[in-house]
Structure 1
Amino acid sequence: MAQFTINALRFDPYKNFKFRVKWDGRYVAGISKVSALKRSTEVVEHREGGDPSTSRKSPGRTKYDPVTLERGVTHDTDFEVWANKIWNYGSLAGAESSLADFRKDVILDVFNEAGQKVLSYQLYRCWVSEFQALPDLDANANAVAIQTLRLETEGWERDYAVTEPAEPRFEEPA
Structure 2
Amino acid sequence: MSTTRIDPYQNFRFRVEIDGIQIAGFSEVSIPDSTTADIEYREGTYPPGTRHLSGLTSSGSVSLKRGITDNMDLYNWKKQVESTGAGSARKNISIILIDETGADKCRWNISYAWPTKYESGSLDAKGNDVLIETFEITHEGIERVK
Q: TM-score, normalised by structure 1?
A: 0.77
Q: In 1, Cα distance between the equivalents of 2:21 and 2:4?
A: 33
Are the aligned partners of 2:42 and 2:50 in contact in 1 as well (CA < 8 Å)? yes
Write 1 or 2 for the structure with the bigger share of strand.
2
Q: Percent identity?
A: 33
Residue of structure 1 aligned with 2:15, choices 1, 13, 20: 20
Write 1 or 2 for the structure with the bigger share of helix.
2
After TM superposition, the runs of 4+ consecutive aligned structure 1 residues lying more than 6 A away are none
Are the aligned partners of 1:70 and 1:148 in contact in 2 as well (CA < 8 Å)? yes
Offset at residue 107 of structure 1 (A): 0.9
Q: TM-score, normalised by structure 2?
A: 0.91
Q: Deviations over 1:59-89 (max 9, x none)?
A: 10000100100000001112111111111xx
Work out which of the two has the higher radius of gyration on C-alpha atoms and give 1 or 2.
1
Offset at residue 24 of structure 1 (A): 2.9
Report SS of the residue matched to 1:144: coil
Q: In 1, Cα distance between the equivalents of 2:31 and 2:20?
A: 22
Which ranges in structure 1 are unaligned for 5 or more consecutive residues?
A: 1-7, 88-95, 161-174
Residue of structure 1 aligned with 2:106, choices 108, 119, 137: 119
Offset at residue 131 of structure 1 (A): 0.9
Comparing 75-84 and 97-106, the one that deviates more: 97-106
Please, what is the CA RMSD of the aligned residues? 1.6
Q: In 1, Cα distance between the equivalents of 2:113 and 2:86?
A: 13
Structure-1 residue corresponding to 2:84: 97
Are the aligned partners of 1:122 and 1:159 in contact in 2 as well (CA < 8 Å)? yes
Q: In 2, Cα distance between the equivalents of 1:69 and 1:56?
A: 39
Structure-1 residue corresponding to 2:115: 128
